[in-house]
Amino acid sequence: MIGHYIRDNFHWCVIWGIILQCLGGLIPLAPSRPLLTVLGWLMLAAGTLLMLVGFAFYAKAKGRSPAWSLLSLASILGWIVLISLTAKPSPSVSGDNLTGRR
């Protein structure tokens, strides 16, 4: 059930992943406040994971391997490459291809 929701709404994973990463990066890394530091790291990790999952489903929707989602770790340039992916053409089946003629 959750997998179907994520597959159909992968863009929300990407958006919330970016938001969590931004908020986690704003939390100060102060040695006097270890709880805030742990919270910041958890938000960064959860945001990165959400973003990777969202881009993996995006790549699958385009007919590509989910491994393409690793480009999202390469800053904004990776995001641009992922967003500009075109849909992989599906092989067309015709009667000529089935008989081996070209």
Residue 78 within any structural domain of the chain: yes
Cα–Cα dist 26/76, whole Å: 19
Q: Is residue 96 part of a domain?
A: no
Rounded Cα distance, 69 and 62, in Å: 12
67: containing domain = 2-87
Can you give the pLDDT at residue 72? Answer: 84
Q: Is 22 inside a domain boundary?
A: yes
- Domain assignment present for residue 33? The answer is yes
Write out the DSSP string of the chain: -HHHHHHHTHHHHHHHHHHHHHHHHHS---TT-HHHHHHHHHHHHHHHHHHHHHHHHHHHHTTS-GGGGGGGGSHHHHHHHHHTPPPPPPPP--HHHHHT--
Number of domains forming the structure of the chain: 1
On whether residue 30 sits in a domain, the answer given is yes
**Mean pLDDT per 10-residue run, the chain (102 residues)?**
74 87 80 82 91 88 87 83 79 55 54
